[in-house]
């Protein structure tokens, strides 16, 4: 087994970008910055690599976990309200030019699913990962294999309840913040959780509504895939009280149909740890094929 290499892992979400030097499951160094609201992916990536220029030479490959769909190294948005990415952006080619080492790119929730499966709350059993964050992302690991492409993009689900919108438009961080507008202008999702803690009914109702819709999604995932576990992550999914609210909404469900929910053990590091492992596996495969 090749010696554990240091991988540069980046996680580009709708709200923040995280860069980490990862060795196995050890996070050697990290840097966080907001995902710029304007410009294009080339500018966002140049800004991130500029901020970690001092790490050059410390890593042998890059793993990129990104919100949106990644097809053959090209990056596109499924929901431009989560992050406005132009169609088929040349992601791996751009990062290889910036980093000068091989790159593996995958969807952020897929990467986090692998991280939780291999090293976290997934316990290396058939599992589904759900990130409730700026959007709703998901990853599926069945029989030890991470499904790719559109698999797990539960946030894009449609309903006659809101024609033209997606499920995440009525559950996730953007929606929660939007519900605060009549009560607290400019509030973020984090402010809504604080208002709920302070006893404001409008905030508690907002969180209960979001959690109830997440509970319904989990019930449908259970019927579709019957995973041993559903692991919940993301800034909303891991916010204080959210998972408990989802569990409360599931209490009336008969036990055989009720999903087994677990909080993501790796927290916000699930994506970087997962993509680092996937990138290292690909690097080892390349070296063994030489």
Chain centre distance of CA 17: 11
Query: Could you say which of 6, 79, 92, 206 contacts ligand BMX (CB under 6 A)?
Result: 79
DSSP, collapsed to helix, strand or coil, labels residue 271 as helix
Site for ligand BMX in 183-202 (CB under 6 A): none
| 77 near ligand BMX, rule: CB under 6 A | yes
Query: Could you say which of 131, 179, 206, 283 contacts ligand BMX (CB under 6 A)?
Result: 131
Query: Could you say which of 6, 92, 94, 107 contacts ligand BMX (CB under 6 A)?
Result: 107
| 83 near ligand BMX, rule: CB under 6 A | yes
Angle between helices 173-180 and 201-225 (to 10 degrees): 160
Least Å from the CB of residue 35 to ligand BMX:
8
| 268 near ligand BMX, rule: CB under 6 A | no
**DSSP percent split of the chain into helix, strand, coil, nearest 5:** 40, 25, 35
Query: Could you say which of 7, 64, 113, 136 contacts ligand BMX (CB under 6 A)?
Result: 136
Q: What angle do CA 248, 206, 230 make, to 5 degrees?
A: 45
Least Å from the CB of residue 89 to ligand BMX:
11
Q: Which two tokens stand for residue 1?
A: 């087994």
| 206 near ligand BMX, rule: CB under 6 A | no
Q: Which two tokens stand for residue 69?
A: 């769909």
| 139 near ligand BMX, rule: CB under 6 A | no
| 270 near ligand BMX, rule: CB under 6 A | no
Distance, CA of 11 to CA of 229 (rounded, Å): 24
Query: Could you say which of 20, 92, 108, 268 contacts ligand BMX (CB under 6 A)?
Result: 108
Least Å from the CB of residue 188 to ligand BMX:
14
Which range in 94-102, 120-128, 135-143, 278-286 contacts ligand BMX by CB under 6 A?
Answer: 135-143
Distance, CA of 163 to CA of 254 (rounded, Å): 30
Distances (CA, A) of 51 to 30, 46, 241, 270: 11, 9, 34, 22
| 155 near ligand BMX, rule: CB under 6 A | yes
| 78 near ligand BMX, rule: CB under 6 A | yes
Half-sphere exposure of 86 (CA within 13 A, CB side): 10
User: Number of residues in contact with ligand BMX, rule: CB under 6 A?
Assistant: 24
Query: Could you say which of 41, 63, 68, 233 contacts ligand BMX (CB under 6 A)?
Result: 68
Among residues 197, 210, 128, 126, the alpha carbon closest in space to that of 167 is found at 210
Site for ligand BMX in 4-43 (CB under 6 A): 13-14
Distances (CA, A) of 163 to 48, 51, 120, 156, 201: 37, 42, 37, 12, 28
| 115 near ligand BMX, rule: CB under 6 A | no
Least Å from the CB of residue 282 to ligand BMX:
20
Distance, CA of 108 to CA of 35 (rounded, Å): 14
Query: Could you say which of 73, 115, 122, 137 contacts ligand BMX (CB under 6 A)?
Result: 137
Q: Which residues sit at the interface with ligand BMX, rule CB under 6 A? A: 13-14, 67-69, 77-79, 82-83, 85, 107-109, 131, 133-137, 153, 155-156, 168
């Amino acid at each position: 087994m090749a010696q554990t290499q240091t991988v540069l892992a980046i996680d580009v979400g709708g709200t923040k970008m995280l860069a980490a030097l990862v060795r196995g499951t050890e996070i050697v160094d990290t840097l966080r910055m907001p995902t710029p609201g304007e410009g294009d992916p080339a500018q966002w990536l140049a800004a991130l690599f500029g901020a970690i220029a001092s790490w050059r030479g410390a890593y042998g490959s890059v793993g990129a976990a990104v919100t949106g769909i990644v097809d053959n190294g090209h990056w596109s948005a499924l929901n431009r309200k989560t992050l406005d990415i132009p169609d088929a952006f040349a992601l791996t080619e751009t990062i290889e030019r910036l980093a000068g080492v091989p790159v593996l790119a995958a969807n952020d929730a897929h990467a986090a699913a692998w991280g939780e499966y291999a090293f976290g709350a997934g316990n290396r059993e058939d599992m589904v990962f759900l990130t409730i964050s700026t959007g709703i992302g998901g990853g599926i690991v069945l029989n030890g294999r991470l499904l790719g492409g559109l698999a797990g993009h539960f946030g894009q689900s449609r309903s006659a309840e809101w024609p033209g919108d997606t499920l995440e438009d009525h559950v996730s961080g953007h929606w929660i913040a939007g519900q605060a507008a009549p009560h607290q202008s400019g509030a973020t999702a984090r402010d809504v959780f604080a208002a709920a803690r302070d006893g404001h009914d409008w905030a508690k109702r907002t969180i209960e509504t979001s959690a109830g819709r997440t509970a319904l999604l989990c019930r449908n995932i259970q019927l579709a895939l019957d995973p041993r576990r559903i692991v919940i992550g993301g800034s909303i999914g891991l916010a204080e009280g959210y998972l408990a609210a989802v569990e409360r909404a599931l209490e009336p469900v008969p036990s055989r149909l009720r999903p087994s929910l677990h909080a993501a053990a790796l927290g916000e590091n699930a994506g970087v740890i997962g993509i680092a492992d996937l990138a290292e596996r690909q690097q080892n495969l390349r070296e063994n094929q030489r």
